[in-house]
Structure 1
Amino acid sequence: MNRWIPTRRSYTEMKHEIQEPLELPAAYELVALDDSSNALEATVQLARQGGTEGTLVWTTQQLPGDFRPGKTWYSPDQGLYLALILEPEFAPEAAGQIALIGLLSMGMAIAEAVVPMTDLRYRWPNDLLLSGSKVGGVSLRRNLEEGWLVLGVSVNVGKEPAEVIDAGCVQVEGGNPELTPAALLQSFAREFLHWINRWDEEGLPAILGAMRGRWGVPGESVLVELDEDETLAGALQDVDEEGQLVVETATGPRRIALNEFFGL
């Protein structure tokens, strides 16, 4: 894959007010939703219609949608809900690694905005936790024949969803009531551009190195819902050099690949 620097860009203004101007790298073609549709679903539709790499769709409020098959993401207002079209030139088996890049990029963006010493952790491979509460997540959609991959990122910025027991929001858990979705979007856009190019140059070790120490401790209990019919329980062993989760189960070690988790 060549360095990811698309050049097309535009900005569609939201009908509801944005408090500060948006400044994103030229790599992005920014589309702000002016209704209450779902950012991930809207971006997948754009990709199917020929939307180009770098198209970034976002909103601060949206309808609930399937983040993974059978898994709904509830979206309170004052959130950051975005999805990005990519046109992969890398091998299909590496597609799941984009989720880790998205997760790390949002983690870095949030880390810049919260008070010092806030406990920020990742729950393999798609959840972001602050002070033990889930505040964000990532998802992937792909069509090999049409050649596109869509990364979805959702973050509870100002409100936590009432429907989710362990959820929180960044303003509260991170001690920064002034943080806005637009400010977080700008930070994420810069971080993602940095980390996807680091990944292109150095491979997955660059991403895993930056996430090291934030997965939890070996021996910690984990519960992984692979699909509607299979849930894996065991003790965390490691996240290996290929980004696979290694879990010690009652029947022995089990490795879960990124593509397996996201159904790619």
Structure 2
Amino acid sequence: MTCIFGCDIFEGNRKSILVSENKNMSRLRQEILRAFLETGDILSGEGLSKRFGVSRSSIWKHIQGLRDQGYQILSCPKLGYRLVVRPDGLLPAEIRAGLSTKIIGKEILHFKEISSTNDLGLKLARQGYPEGTLIIAECQSCGRGRLGRSWISPEGGIYLSLILRPQASPDLVPFLILLAGVAVAKGIRKILNLPLLLKWPNDLLINGKKVSGILTEMEAELDKVNFTVVGIGINVNVRADQLPERPDYPAISLMVEMGREVDRRPLLQEILLAIEDGYLEFKAGNYTSILEAYRELDGILGKKAKIKTLQGVIEGEAEGIEKDGALRLRLSNGRVKRIRSGEVIL
């Protein structure tokens, strides 16, 4: 079964071909880029040719390919090539440079544009892609949020999905939602020092405005999760006029809040590292530490709230989350209601 907490991408062989092309680009081009990032100095065409076992003309072709992607690479006569300017892209080599994770980002697939990273993540998970596979896109044409809502995904944001294979029972999956939210919050707080808080179950707010959301989907048996796909969308360098207009639930981007563009690479790396830290706690059965981390960032604790559920709207005061991740709501009659799924409106 497929469970969702919270348009097809490619058809038939075309999907497999595009994923294969994305992986193979080029592996060589990504390795050349990684060599530039690691050395920070001039690299000779002859040296690159010997290092990767290809002709110098092939090296030149991939250098041109990197230039086409926005990398400014100078040709230094009789010396080689020097990387002088990097675009604000999230290519695999850029992400891996300095990333110290062991699980998350084991495989990275990057797309300039895709309909939905989660849709592709589900398909690749069924094909057996390994745990930690990261699918990332510069923009999405059909991004999805919880409850069937669309997620507006223009260029400049961070839109990613992670394939996880937790070997856990389905009732523990809510902890993955919580740890993902905590990881995004920690990453943004550490890199940008913004007062970001969590709104149960999966939204992240800055001064009451939504900056990020999480969609977790899984396929499972009755007693075992086969895999989960954790989708994360963050409004990073998104202009105010590109944000969705919902008077009852305003959105914001990190760029709008900071008054400047944000370097997405270190932010993404910090978030991925925080996800891995939380996921290792999850795999070790340390659910209490995940709950404690969430409670420290709980943005609705003690506030009056309306909860939209399938059964209707419930009003009360949020008293935090319980040990299974459910929201504890104090009703006007003094009774306590446990909410397992719903949308909080403050």
Report the TM-score when normalising by structure 2: 0.64
Aligned counterpart for 1:170 among listed residues 238, 251, 254: 254
After TM superposition, give the deviation of residue 242 of structure 1 in Å.
2.0
Aligned counterpart, 1:148: 227
**TM-aligned CA distance change 1:141 to 1:215, over 3 Å:** same
Aligned counterpart for 2:119 among listed residues 29, 41, 45: 41
Aligned counterpart, 2:197: 121
Aligned counterpart, 1:139: 215
Q: 1:90-239 to 2 correspondence within 5 Å?
A: 90-115=168-193, 118-145=194-221, 147-159=226-238, 160=240, 161-165=242-246, 166-173=250-257, 175=258, 177-201=260-284, 203-216=286-299, 218-227=301-310, 230-239=312-321
Aligned counterpart for 1:22 among listed residues 82, 85, 95: 95
Aligned counterpart, 2:132: 54
Q: Where do 5+ consecutive residues of structure 1 fail to align? A: 1-9
**TM-aligned CA distance change 1:112 to 1:176, over 3 Å:** farther
Moved more, 40-49 or 76-85: 40-49
CA contact (8 A) 1:220 1:236 kept: yes
Moved more, 37-46 or 12-21: 12-21
After TM superposition, give the deviation of residue 59 of structure 1 in Å.
1.4
CA contact (8 A) 1:33 1:39 kept: no
After TM superposition, give the deviation of residue 232 of structure 1 in Å.
3.2
Aligned counterpart, 1:243: 325
After TM superposition, give the deviation of residue 217 of structure 1 in Å.
5.6
Report the TM-score when normalising by structure 1: 0.82
**TM-aligned CA distance change 1:139 to 1:231, over 3 Å:** farther
Larger radius of gyration: 2
Moved more, 52-61 or 138-147: 138-147
Moved more, 46-55 or 72-81: 46-55
After TM superposition, give the deviation of residue 261 of structure 1 in Å.
5.0
Which SS does the other structure have where 1:186 is aligned?
Answer: helix
Moved more, 12-21 or 180-189: 12-21
Q: Provide Cα deviations, 1:18-39, integer angstroms capped at 9, x if missing partner.
A: 4372223342211111333211
When the two chains are superposed, the root-mean-square deviation of aligned CA atoms in Å is 2.6
Query: Using CA pairs below 8 Å that are at least 6 residues apart, which structure has the higher relative contact order?
Result: 1
**TM-aligned CA distance change 1:250 to 1:172, over 3 Å:** same
Q: Does 1:253 align with 2:336?
A: yes
Q: Report how many residues are paired.
A: 247
Question: Taking every aligned residue pair, what percent have the same amino acid on both sides?
Answer: 26
Q: 1:80-95 to 2 correspondence within 5 Å?
A: 80-95=158-173
CA contact (8 A) 2:236 2:254 kept: yes
After TM superposition, give the deviation of residue 48 of structure 1 in Å.
2.4
Q: 1 or 2, which has the higher strand percentage? A: 1
- State how far apart, in whole Å, the 1-side matches of 2:111 and 2:124 are: 12
